[in-house]
């Protein structure tokens, strides 16, 4: 969320940013919120003046009463009463305007970084770099569900009967592989200096609206009926929420955390063949990383975060690439974002397995995450990135480590988490 003062002083910058994100329907909101802000500031000024005048008159009334000038004192009392009625009306209007301003400000997109490519949607995202050589073997790679079923590793039919579409039972070595990847990712991030955390898996609405846009909230979140609680769609929500309404000493920054959680998502929209199976599902597990830092350090941490994911996938013999998200593909709170995509030998193309985002001070402003420095107080910057999210990641793992005889290689880094197994 932007500072309303910034919008007031830089309306054309804000409008051009909206155009760059191809959200022209929001252009009128800039003028609307500026007008509301002016009315709100005028109401506040008038209210402050009335309070000052009321205090002054109250002192005069006391003096008049002590002098026995009751009639003059009563006239002033009547004036104070009228002013009190006006003051109450102004305070109510201030509250009403404050709500309207906040609602609009939460829909105006954050200012994107100048380096972000301009484009309408994800079809215009830009490849940055490839890591590892993508290989298409000389044997046919089965669909990932077929690979799992060949190992008695998945049961979708039972899951449909129990919970419906979009759920699964993982079994045997495939389930063990899933847990091994999560455990390896946890230790990988701990070795890189991140503090391990298991967060709450449900969060209140004030945290939800603090960490994501209304559009994302509607598309993703499951609400607990009858309670002010939502199931998290990613542990980033809960992890950033950990700092809600806090004042952090600048000396304590950065906070670097890596977290495990199950994730729950509605996953609205049409699903093609490649998005069935375990690619796009309602429940999955994930290892995440988040950083809370000083503004001047956020781009440095942004580069470190996505590099962590690239490095992890390369230790598992999976070729990946980074893809810069264009302006139209950025969620409203994001300043800059890059997707990490893994190579699919079966499809002979890359597909998304993680996303790294710098949100500037947008989340911190909404959640009141403030930093106290030697000479100033300011909002922190927040970043997040997927370490690994099986079972989607398992698709890339199985395809890239499959042998012609149907066996699956276990990379050296993962073998200690698989009881020493070198193959499944």
Residue 96 inside a domain? The answer is yes
**85 and 233 within one domain:** no
Q: How many structural domains does the chain have?
A: 2
Residue 354 inside a domain? The answer is yes
**207 and 290 within one domain:** yes
Cα of first residue to Cα of last residue in the chain, in angstroms, is: 48
Identify the three-state secondary structure at position 55: helix
Give percent helix, percent strand, percent coil of the chain, each to the nearest 5: 50, 20, 30
DSSP string, 338-399: EEEEEEETTTTEEEEEEEEEE-TTHHHHHHTEEEE-SS-EEEPEEEEEEEE-TTHHHHHHHH
- How much is the pLDDT for 59? 66
For 183, counting Cβ atoms within 10 Å of its Cβ (0-12 exposed, 13-18 middle, 19+ buried), the class is middle
**394 and 271 within one domain:** yes
**98 and 135 within one domain:** no
Percent of the chain with pLDDT over 70: 93
**334 and 230 within one domain:** yes
Where residue 365 sits, what CATH number does that domain have? 3.30.930.10
Whether the CB-CB separation of 356 and 385 falls below 8 Å is answered with yes
Q: Which residues of the chain have pLDDT under 70?
A: 58-59, 61-67, 69-70, 73-74, 77, 268-276
Of 105, 136, 165, the residue that ends a domain is: 105
**86 and 130 within one domain:** no
Q: What is the pLDDT of residues 182-230, one digit of tens each?
A: 999 999 999 999 999 999 999 999 999 999 877 778 788 999 999 999 9
Residue 423 inside a domain? The answer is no
- How much is the pLDDT for 214? 73
Range of the domain at 164: 122-418
Q: What is the pLDDT of residues 363-380, one digit of tens each?
A: 999 999 999 998 899 999
For 162, counting Cβ atoms within 10 Å of its Cβ (0-12 exposed, 13-18 middle, 19+ buried), the class is exposed
pTM above 0.85, yes or no: yes
Residue 114 inside a domain? The answer is no
Where residue 54 sits, what CATH number does that domain have? 1.10.287.40
**159 and 283 within one domain:** yes
Report residue 260 as tokens: 């495990």
Of 49, 71, 105, the residue that ends a domain is: 105
- How much is the pLDDT for 270? 46
**126 and 81 within one domain:** no
Whether the CB-CB separation of 182 and 285 falls below 8 Å is answered with yes
- How much is the pLDDT for 280? 81
- How much is the pLDDT for 73? 64
**246 and 217 within one domain:** yes
Residue 13 inside a domain? The answer is yes
**161 and 60 within one domain:** no
**100 and 140 within one domain:** no
Residue found by looking up tokens 């209007």 in the block: 93
Whether the CB-CB separation of 410 and 315 falls below 8 Å is answered with no
- How much is the pLDDT for 273? 47
- How much is the pLDDT for 268? 61
Q: What is the pLDDT of residues 274-314, one digit of tens each?
A: 446 787 889 999 999 999 999 999 999 999 999 999 999 99
Residue 379 inside a domain? The answer is yes
- How much is the pLDDT for 392? 85
Of 78, 105, 132, the residue that ends a domain is: 105
**260 and 327 within one domain:** yes
């Amino acid at each position: 969320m932007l500072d309303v003062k910034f919008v007031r002083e830089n309306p054309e910058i804000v409008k051009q940013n909206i155009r760059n994100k191809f959200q022209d329907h929001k252009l009128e909101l800039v003028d609307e919120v500026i007008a509301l802000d002016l009315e709100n500031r005028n109401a506040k000024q008038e209210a402050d003046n009335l309070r000052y005048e009321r205090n002054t008159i109250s002192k005069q009334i006391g003096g008049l009463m002590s002098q026995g000038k009751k009639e003059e004192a009563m006239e002033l009392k009547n004036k104070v009463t009228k002013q009190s009625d006006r003051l109450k009306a102004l305070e109510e209007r201030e509250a009403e305007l404050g709500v309207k301003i906040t609602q609009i400000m939460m829909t105006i997109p954050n200012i994107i970084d100048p380096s972000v490519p301009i484009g309408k949607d994800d079809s215009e995202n830009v490849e940055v770099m490839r890591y590892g050589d993508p290989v298409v073997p000389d044997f046919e790679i089965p669909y990932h569900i077929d690979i799992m079923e060949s190992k008695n590793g998945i049961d979708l039919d039972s899951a449909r009967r129990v919970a419906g579409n979009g759920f699964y039972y993982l079994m045997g070595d495939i389930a063990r592989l899933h847990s091994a990847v999560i455990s390896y990712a946890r230790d990988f991030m701990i070795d890189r200096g991140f503090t391990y955390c298991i967060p709450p898996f449900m969060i209140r609405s004030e945290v939800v609206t603090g960490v994501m846009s209304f559009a994302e909230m509607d598309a993703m979140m499951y609400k607990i009926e009858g309670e002010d609680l939502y199931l998290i769609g990613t542990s980033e929500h809960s992890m950033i929420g950990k700092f809600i309404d806090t004042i952090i000493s600048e000396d304590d920054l950065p906070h670097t955390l890596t977290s495990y959680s199950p994730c729950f998502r509605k996953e609205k929209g049409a699903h093609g063949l490649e998005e069935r199976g375990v690619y796009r599902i309602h429940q999955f597990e994930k290892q995440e990383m988040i950083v809370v830092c000083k503004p001047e350090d956020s781009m440095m941490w942004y580069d470190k975060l996505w590099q962590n994911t690239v490095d992890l996938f390369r230790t598992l013999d999976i070729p990946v690439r980074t893809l810069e998200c264009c302006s139209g593909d950025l969620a409203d709170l994001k300043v800059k974002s890059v997707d990490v995509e893994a190579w699919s030998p079966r499809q002979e193309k890359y597909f998304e397995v993680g996303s790294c985002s710098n949100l500037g001070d947008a989340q911190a402003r909404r959640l009141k995450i403030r930093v106290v420095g030697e000479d100033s107080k300011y909002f922190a910057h927040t970043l997040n990135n997927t370490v690994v999210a099986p079972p989607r990641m398992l698709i890339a793992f199985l395809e890239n480590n499959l042998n012609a005889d149907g066996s699956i290689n276990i990379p050296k880094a993962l073998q200690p988490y698989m009881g020493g197994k070198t193959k499944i």
